[in-house]
Structure 1
């Protein structure tokens, strides 16, 4: 085979952006403690992790709808400030990295890749996580759900994050556990990875998201072959 026709060796993306909750961080235990504190204040029995976990990536309103199913959308929205205040008071107390995340981030760094976070969590809450994990200097960019005028599934947060890191969107990969993550990446022209270890409701089929890669566990991303080819068409 000639040098011209030889396939390029697999390589890590030059830059990677990650969703936070359900992708890097298993924050469901913190969310459960927050929701159960609210329920206890109203003389309600506690929820189980199995009840709340599937909707954690959908945001505070979705979690409140599980915690208080008798309330309509407006009433759930009215409880959001209380939920966020309670969550802020205990953030990181029970949350842990998913197995394999620490090694995967180290592999990216050792390969010279840069990484950052684009989350729909309010930025002030996401920033509280960074020092707990020793990520203040390692995370190249952080864009929260309230950082910009738009949030995922709009592509703006991904476009701004890649620009702040100094990369074109096509040179970045985005990893997330929710369909809106994949929609945002596609709209931004960014290769996408569906994190199948994250949070999903029963009817949510990641095969329909049309991600460039679907990955069952973070350990698969410790190697270049686990990532979509930068510049290559979607699989």
Structure 2
């Protein structure tokens, strides 16, 4: 896919965990609460962080690596319930993201969230961050029959905005984000600041841009003149 003109986009869509918001600490707390119940010491956040974008199952694989898959699978509902009960205590937008969203809004460019996080877990966190009335679209992993890397969520988001997928940009921190975007002819910026799985090199995913810091997005999207808006 050829390099696009980043400054002429009709909308910007974001993955959530590891891209727009740093949710790792609250997810880690839920996993560690289950470890403590099993008589185990909490694990450091750094051990969980690379796997957050892969969901609850991946986090339990880390938290209970010494137990079998059946044991971990049985714990998933308890993990999700723990997280849902206290899902926004430590979660924050990544540094620079609030300024970026304000710049997009000042320019009149709609933005939205397309995540594989179940919608009943995504919605309260988005609300706690004060984004519910600002984002033009919010789709979770169970909002539709298929989720990323299938492009259906991105196509549906664009349909709701009245644009073609090629007119938008997607920003995400996982290979499946790039795959979903490219499957519907949407360029993808890779969020190198996010939860990149251990052993993977995000430079190999084929995104149009790989950025190390969310504050670089303003320049990449040509929004510097709206930075103080």
Show structure 2 runs of 5+ residues with no match: 224-229
Deviating runs (4+, > 3 A) in structure 1?
A: 224-227
The counterpart of 2:14, out of the listed 15, 18, 27, is 18
1:132, CA displacement in angstroms? Answer: 1.1
Q: Distance in 1 between matches of 2:216 and 2:208?
A: 14
Q: Distance in 1 between matches of 2:71 and 2:114?
A: 28
| Cross-structure match for 2:36 | 40
1:196-207 correspondence runs (5 A): 196-207=192-203
1:225, CA displacement in angstroms? Answer: 4.7
1:29, CA displacement in angstroms? Answer: 0.4
Q: Distance in 2 between matches of 1:187 and 1:226?
A: 25
TM-score normalised to structure 1 length: 0.89
Task: Name the SS of the counterpart of 2:123 in structure 1.
Answer: helix
1:149-181: per-residue Cα shift (whole Å, max 9, x none)?
111111111111111111110011000001110
1:224, CA displacement in angstroms? Answer: 4.9
Q: Distance in 1 between matches of 2:209 and 2:196?
A: 17
Quick check: 1:104 aligned with 2:100? yes
Mapped contact 1:12–1:223 kept (Cα < 8 A): no
1:38-77 correspondence runs (5 A): 38-77=34-73
1:40-189 correspondence runs (5 A): 40-189=36-185
Q: Distance in 2 between matches of 1:36 and 1:10?
A: 41
| Cross-structure match for 1:231 | none
How many pairs were matched up? 220
1:130, CA displacement in angstroms? Answer: 2.1
- Gap change, CA 1:10 and 1:123, over 3 Å in 2: closer
Show structure 1 runs of 5+ residues with no match: 1-8, 228-235
Q: Distance in 2 between matches of 1:208 and 1:196?
A: 12
1:89, CA displacement in angstroms? Answer: 0.6
| Cross-structure match for 1:6 | none
Mapped contact 1:40–1:46 kept (Cα < 8 A): yes
TM-score normalised to structure 2 length: 0.91
Task: Name the SS of the counterpart of 2:170 in structure 1.
Answer: strand
Q: Distance in 2 between matches of 1:151 and 1:34?
A: 24
